[in-house]
Every structure is written in structure tokens, then in C-alpha cells.
Amino acid sequence: MNLAAGFVWQIRKGGTVEITHDGRRAASLRGDRAKAFLDDMDALDHQGQQDEMARLTGNYKRGNERLAKHHPRNR
């Protein structure tokens, strides 16, 4: 289990992995996806773990926020 701020993961009954973000459930992984997730967590550092959980939950920036802010229709 990762106790740092942001994303936290926890293994539940039956091998289900629950990922939370700021105390709210963001994703639940079961079966092969849960096993692959746990293998990835063992191989990654803290920032890598946070990035992987953000990717899995869809909670990450897509890179176009700065460009969209400066677009003429958004001024």
C-alpha cells in the first residue's frame, strides 16, 4: 500500500486492488489487471507509481491545457 499524498492503493478481499484519490475510490482492478498492477508497483519508484495510477484511472493531464488556455475562443 502506498501512503503518500494523491493516489493510494490497497489490496482488498479476493485479490481486488482498489485505487483511491484524495479519499475517493477512483478504480478497482480484478484478476489479471490487478496482478499486472501489483507487479508494476514493485518495479516503480514513488513518482512512477503515481503516474501509473493516474493513467489507469484516467485522472491525468493530456498536455493541451496550456495551448487551450491561449486559444482565441477561450480569451
pLDDT tens-place string over residues 21-38? 888 899 999 999 999 999
Q: Which residue has the cell 495510477?
A: 53
64 pLDDT exceeds 80?
Answer: no
Higher pLDDT, 72 or 18: 18
Q: What's the full length of the chain, in residues?
A: 75
Alpha helices in 1-75 (DSSP H): 31-43, 46-57, 65-69
Strand partners, 9: 19
This prediction has a pTM of 0.70
